[in-house]
Each structure stands twice: as structure tokens, then as C-alpha cells.
Amino acid sequence: MVHPEARWETVKRIHQFVLDRAPDERSTVLTDMCGGDEPLRHEVESLLAQEAAADAFLETPAVEVAARTLADARAATLLGRLLGHYRVEALLGVGGMGEVYLARDPRLDRTVALKILPADFAVDEERMQRFTREAKAASALNHPNVAMVHDVGDSAGVRFIVMEHVDGQTVGAKIAEHALSVADIVDVAMQVADALDAAHSKGIIHRDIKPANLMLTRRGQVKVLDFGIAKTAQTEPATASESTGVTQTVVGALIGSVSYMSPEQVLASDLDGRSDLFSLGVVMYEMATGQLPFTDPTRAELLDAILHTAPQSIRSGRTDVPIELERITFRCLEKQREHRYESARDLFKDLCALKRQLQDVNGATRHTRTTADRHQSDRPLEAYELVGRGRHHLLSGSFFELPQAVAAFRAAAELDPEYAAAHAGLALALGGQAVQRAVPYQQAFADARVAALRALAIDAESADAHVALGQVLFLSDWDWPNAERSFARALEINPNHPEAFLHYGGLMEALGRLDRGLQLKQQALERDPTSALAHVLIAVSYWNQRRYDDTIAWVDRALQRDPKHPFAHQLRAGAYFKKGDVAGAMKGDFAMAESLGASEEKLAALRRVWAEMTDAQATGGHRALVRCILKHVPDESGPGSAALRLPVLYAETGDLDTAFAHLDRAIDARDPALVHLAVAPAWDALRPDPRFSERLRWMRLPTDCVGVA
């Protein structure tokens, strides 16, 4: 027996396919599609009849009316029911990707939005797995203008996605009330462009930007909905089981969204981020005029207009719209994507410049506020722009962009001391610099602590701030219990925060739970597959497990994503050295020097040192090699990478007293690399000495970790 919802999905697909045909072809096509199934044909014809009778078929397609009827029927059975541990409370709405319900999560005592996925998702395991992976990747978008994805679940055959519940109204509802003011158009577009920039930097294209997917909170903050969902829905090929030959497309991917599609989507071409910019241009046009730029009466004519027709001037019906806003909008609406903005960041910059011009013209003044509860547009424009710039540098994952991130966040915090995102971003960037030893780490951690605590004083629900504070507690204070509480709290707020998983995993490894640490890091990678940092820290997990070939393999993957990652090169050299492959270790050192921009003179000196090391190993073996390395490592007692290498090298030569003396100096300096003292193989030469266990106990680290020789 065919499940009613599966039957409904077939009706929707045929209905959509027939609508794409010219009116004089539809009867023949419908006959071919239904293949003698008269009840099926009757259902499709019923929808087509409603479609023809509608006064505005693009605004309220018949298939949406039928979908709402089905949703109302299902709502009667779901209200009050538990899906997983979420209690369904009310039906919020119906969209192309299914129904949305208000639900309560009793564990965290918060309301969430549950999106019930269509039946064809529920019966296609491969497709559901792919959807889950993409939803997790989208959930890694840690951005204030992206609605958070908390979870993907399955309860008694009902598949659902758990999202942040945004209390407000859609931009579509706002437009239905009246056209937006110029200031509001620019403000909304800026926030969406900033969110798209964050998504595109992660390789995620939304593909369904439209007013219904843009929520406005009461404070004027935009939340972009359905990242990762539209992408999966619109790219699924037909399966072998579909004898009709209809392309598998979830209803709503075209119907209801077709007016916002880019020419590339209409032509089913490969897409990049500029497709989203076209859709945002349509939304900007609609916010300004209350009308869509392409409004032809039939689907075929509409698609042709998207491909070939220029919209009417915005200013022809609304003279208060600045010429610059019309120029920006029409650049987004260019038919050839090469003529649009190259990136969402470029669009964001132009919008910021326009907002600055508007403020100057209107004599806008900046007001200092003492509360975080401010309207989004009240925030100083420069602060908002600086946070966007800082986040852009931070999300690049590049060691070399951390100084720019720190500078941008710090400037934003100075402009607007009540901007939680600026303080939280600054804390994360400073923590990154401390870990990478780009600056004196003790001061960087101290400054990161101040910034994180300031962010939490403004917004106790800042996941970024909890991660940054946990990083300080873990790597600087060596306060393992409170560090764990901070990471756990961050994941309660945002269950898909990649950095929270990564640092939590590092903490678990420090405490000897190597398998648990690796598992947490792999969860981070699931949520952000593009992250070079995640690949490097997974390599660290294998390093701690003495799986050196796996360490090298994962470092190589990291270097494919960030060829200049210094720690990746350093870890690669260490793994080769542990394998006894000195030549491989030397190549790793050379690659690291190149990544840091070493001069030809320094590279030539490094080659001479290698030659000396090779001779030493050939004539005196491993200890002679290590003594040769020691000759070229400065005898520093202060913080720094050399100070940490000295105890390891002296231990390799057998001089344990000197090794422990240098180790004690590093402990006194609270070197962050010592958090893995209990498990890292670099310390294996010291491990049998009873003095080593004394140091572990002083640091409150385990002395009997599994997997440590």
C-alpha cells in the first residue's frame, strides 16, 4: 500500500513538471506521466484547475493550499506529542520543505522550531544521510544572522530538523504590510550579505534566499533560515525507482521560490555564491517597491523574463530611493554572474558605504548605549562593519589573518563597548594567537579572558565567549573541570559549534581519554569539513596515539586546505622524526620555514644544518643527531617553542636532570603545549622516571593513561 504522503509527493512532482510545459502541451504530458493511473491524473488536474483559477498563482500556488490542508491534518496528530525529547506545541507554518512546529526542549528549557521533512526524505536513507551531513555543515555557520540548527532527528518514522526559534516576523510579512524604508532595506541587506559571506567562505550556497526565509526579530536583527536545506532539496537527481522520469525536486524548490531564482538556477547550471546575490537582489527590489522584478503571468514567461528581461527602474515609482541603492540592487540582478558582485563581502562593503552616506545626509548621530537590548540599526555602522571584517579573517582559519581579526574586533569593541559579538570574537582571535605563539601567549590569554568575560556579561548566551573562556581555562589556567563546563555550556547553546568540539576533544585527550577526544574532534569535522584546524587537531589525536602514519595522512589533508599552516608542518616533521625518517623530518622543517616566509639566506643556513645533522647521524647514531640539533636550539629559559623543545631534546640525549630543569621552567611559565604532557609521545623518554609522575600529579593530570608506553 502506498503511504499517503509518498503519494502526495508524486502528485506534487508531476504537477510541477506539467506546469513547466506550455499550456497546449500539458494534457499530452500529463497522460504520459500518469501512465493510465486515472486517480493520479485526477489529483493533478484538480491542482491545475485551482492553479488556473487563482488570482495570483505565483503568490499562492494551489499546491501550497493542498500542502496546508495535509499539514493541518497531521498537526492534529502531532500536537502534544514527543518527537525525540521535543514536545510539539503548535503549527507555525507550512513551506516547500515541510511543516514547521513550535516545540519545547525540556532539557534546556527553551522553545525550538521543528521542521518536519517531506515523506520522500523519510523513505530515502541515502538522501537523508546526505541531507544530515549538509545540515551539520550548515549548522557550523556560527554567525549572528544565521538561524542556528540544533539537531536532526527521527522519531517513529517522522524525520525532523531542530532549529532556533526566532521570535519575529518574516521579511515577506513586513513587505506585505508596506514597502520598507530606505534605511531598513540597507540594514536588512547588509545583515543578509554578511551571513552569506560567512556561508560562502565555508563553501555553502543557500540557493533559496527569499523573504520567507528571512526573519526579523523585534530588535531588527535578521536571521537567515534554511541554510543547507534548500541546497539538498534542489540538487537531488531522479532515482532509478522513478518510472515517470520526473526529476526529483521537493515542492517549493521552484514553486513559490521561482521568482527569486538566478538565471543559473533556471538553466540548471553549476552554481556559486553569486547565485545567492541575485536572489538577494530580487529581495532588495521587492523591499523597495513591494513588487517582484519579474512578474509574468505564466511560469514559462516568468522563467524567460529571469533570463532575458530587465526589471523596471525602482526610482520610477519611488523617488526617495537613492541612485546608489538602485545601482547596487541592479548589479545583483545582472543576468551574467560575471557582472555581479564577485563576493558577498564586496556587496557588504558597498552597502556599508551607502549606509554611511545616508547617515551623513540625514545628520545621524551615534549614541552610546549601556545595554545589549538595542535595535540592530542603532549600532554604530563602523562597529558592525568591523565585526564582519574580523569574522571574515577569523573564519579563514589562516594563521596569517589572526592579527587582522584581532585588530578589527578590538576596534569594534572600542567603538561599541556593549557589542557582545565584538568582545567574543576578540577573545577567540586572541586565543588563536596564543595557541599559535604568534604573540606572547601569557598576555594573549589574559586579554582573551577579559574579552570573554566582558562578552558574557553582555550576553550570557554567547557560545563563542564560552568557547574562548574554556580555551583560557584549559590552556592557560589548567583548570580542567571549569574548562569542561565552559565547553559543555557552549555546546548546550550551540550544539554544532566546531571549535567547542575541537577544544573539548583536546581537553579529553589531556585527561587521558584519547578515544573520546578523537570522537569529539571528528564531530567538529562533520560540522565543518573545510576546516584545516579540524584536520590538524585530528592529526594531533593520532600523534597522541602513536599512529604516526595516520598523523602524516591527516596533516597532509590539512595542508591541502591551508598549505601555510605552521603547526601542521611542525607536526608532520615530528611524526617523521618519531618514525626514524630524518630526511622526511627535515623536509617538514624546511616547509615550515617556507610557510613562515623565511629568506633565502635563512633557508640556505637551514640546508647547512641539515647536512651537519645527516653527518652526525651517520657517524654517531640517534644521540649524536640529537646533540647536533641541540647545538642549533637557543638555550632559552623564557616562554617560546625553543623552551619547550629543550627538555625533549635533553631527554633524548639521556641528560634527564637538565631535561627536568627545562621542563620545570616550562611548567612555571604555564606553556600551553604542556596540557598533553600525560599523553604526548614527545615526552616518552622522561616517562619512566618517577619525577615525571610528580609533575603530572602537580598539574592534576593522570599518571596511568591508556596507550602511553
Q: How far apart are CA 37 and CA 359, in angstroms?
A: 63
Q: What is the DSSP string of 314-360?
A: STTT-TTS-HHHHHHHHHHT-SSGGGS-SSHHHHHHHHHHHHHHHHH
| 255 Rama class: left (phi>0) / alpha (psi -120 to 50) / beta | beta
The three grid cell numbers given for residue 662, joined into one nine-digit string: 627545562
The three grid cell numbers given for residue 702, joined into one nine-digit string: 593522570
Cβ atoms of residues 588 and 572 within 8 Å: yes
The three grid cell numbers given for residue 648, joined into one nine-digit string: 625533549
Q: What is the DSSP string of 141-155?
A: ---TTBPPEEEEEEE
Q: How far apart are CA 193 and CA 353, in angstroms?
A: 14
The three grid cell numbers given for residue 11, joined into one nine-digit string: 502528485
SS3 label, residue 100: strand
The two counts, helices (H) then strands (E), for the chain are: 30, 9
The three grid cell numbers given for residue 288, joined into one nine-digit string: 523597495
Instruction: Give the rounded distance of the alpha carbon of 244 from its chain centre.
Output: 38
Report the candidate in 185, 256, 252, 259 with the shortest Cα–Cα distance to residue 222. Answer: 185
**Pairing label, strands 110-116, 82-83:** unpaired
Strands (E), 181-235: 214-217, 222-224
Q: What is the DSSP letter of 260?
A: G
SS3 label, residue 250: coil
Report the candidate in 328, 386, 330 with the shortest Cα–Cα distance to residue 357. Answer: 328
Catalytic residue among 187, 208, 276, 459: 208
Phi and psi dihedrals of 88, rounded to 5?
Answer: -75, 130
Query: Beta-carbon neighbour count of residue 665 at 10 Å?
Result: 18
Q: How far apart are CA 260 and CA 27, in angstroms?
A: 28
**Cβ burial 518-538 (10 Å sphere, 16+ → b, else e):** bebbebbbbbbbbbbbbbbbb
The three grid cell numbers given for residue 110, joined into one nine-digit string: 527553551
Catalytic annotation present for 208: yes
Q: How far apart are CA 442 and CA 434, in angstroms?
A: 7
For the chain, what's the residue count?
Answer: 709
Query: Beta-carbon neighbour count of residue 284 at 10 Å?
Result: 28
**Which helix (H) or strand (E) segment is 573 a member of?**
helix 566-578
Q: Which residues contact 66 (CB under 8 A, 6 or more apart)?
A: 8, 47, 50
Q: Which residues contact 693 (CB under 8 A, 6 or more apart)?
A: 703
Catalytic residue annotation: 208
